[in-house]
Amino acid sequence: MKFIKQLKLLTFQVIVSLIILNTQISFAQKVETPQITNLQNFFLGVNINKTSKKSESGDDTYNRFNQTYSDDDNNISLTLTKYFSNKDISDNFIYGFSVNVAHLKKFEGKDNSGMGGNPVTLQGNYINPELKVGSFLDEKKRFLINASYGKVFSDIKQRFADDNPNGQTLSYSTSPSLEGISKGIELAYNSESNTIYKLGLKNIDFNRVNSVSMGSVNGPFTFPHQLSLRTIYIGFDMPITLDKIF
């Protein structure tokens, strides 16, 4: 009985060893050259973000106040990226597109101008399709740098609450869902397993929107306000092929 148990254990160990050896051989065969621009490959990734927020407001006519606030929001975003190459331009030139999805937590800022009107950014999600253009930095095509530009669509909204003792009452009404543009730069390393490790900086500027005050000593007035995000992130992208997607 003891011999049978030992035999089963040995058989299991041999099978596991063969599986590991076969995996290592297959892995070594697959990673001889980078496949970042393989037409079948997409990259599914995760970014860990540190985002600072800024909200500015003012009066178009009288410039009665101008305020900013900033704080950090740590969140995670998901990305789907596709790269292409064009050897007619350069052997190192790459381009592509990416779609990022992230969540922004509710955020209450404090007016620092002394004129009243604390911004409140309501929590919401945003999607950020963008174009990427970049280049490999070495002959082995491991290190790459790229710049990105894209659009941002969200259900994030903003409003202003009044704390001005002088009677200038700002709007409590909520803005429409915010949209904007994104600009970014990213440094990445394409590992032998084709997993891409990345470090990046991205700015998102939502469009300026207008709100109307509920009233003040001089009557209602329209004031513009704008939300901006600056994100520093680290993350990774793992290759997936079309036959695994569909």
Shared domain check, 235 and 192? yes
In a shared domain, residues 3 and 48: no
Which backbone phi and psi does 11 adopt, to 5 degrees? -60, -45
H or E element in which residue 99 lies: strand 93-104
- Amino acid in position 136: F
pLDDT of residue 113: 52
Low-confidence ranges of the chain (pLDDT < 70): 1-35, 39-40, 58-71, 108-119, 161-173, 213-221, 242-246
pLDDT digits (tens, 9 = 90+) for 221-239: 677 778 888 999 999 999 8
Same domain, yes or no: 17 and 87: no
| Residue in 103, 45, 80, 98 with CA at minimum distance from that of residue 231 | 103
Q: Domain check: are 138 and 77 in the same one? A: yes
Characterize the bridge pairing of strands 124-136 and 158-161. unpaired
Taking alpha carbons only, the member of 154, 33, 38, 176 closest to residue 100 is 154
- Shared domain for 12 and 108, answered yes or no, is no
How high is the pLDDT of residue 88? Answer: 75
Q: For residues 46 and 98, state if they share a domain.
A: yes
In this prediction, residue 26 carries a pLDDT of: 43
β-sheet with 158-161: strand ranges across: 107-108, 118-121, 158-161
Same domain, 19 and 89: no
- Contact between 213 and 223 (Cβ < 8 Å): yes
Q: Could you tell me the residue range of the domain that residue 69 belongs to?
A: 35-245
Does residue 26 sit in the same domain as residue 57? no
Q: Is the Cα torsion angle 166, 167, 172, 173 positive or negative in sign?
A: negative
Query: Alpha-carbon distance 29 to 27, whole Å?
Result: 5
Number of domains making up the chain: 2
The pLDDT tens digits of the residues spanning 55-82 come to 777 665 545 555 666 667 788 899 999 9
pLDDT of 45: 92
Please give the pLDDT value at position 244.
55
Q: Does 13 share its domain with 76? A: no
Same domain flag for 57 and 22: no
Residues forming beta bridges with residue 97, ordered by sequence position: 82, 131
Q: Do 109 and 219 fall within a single domain?
A: yes
Residues 233, 143 share a domain: yes
The pTM (predicted TM-score) of the whole model is: 0.73
Q: In whole angstroms, give the CA distance from residue 25 to residue 40.
A: 22
pLDDT number for residue 31 = 44
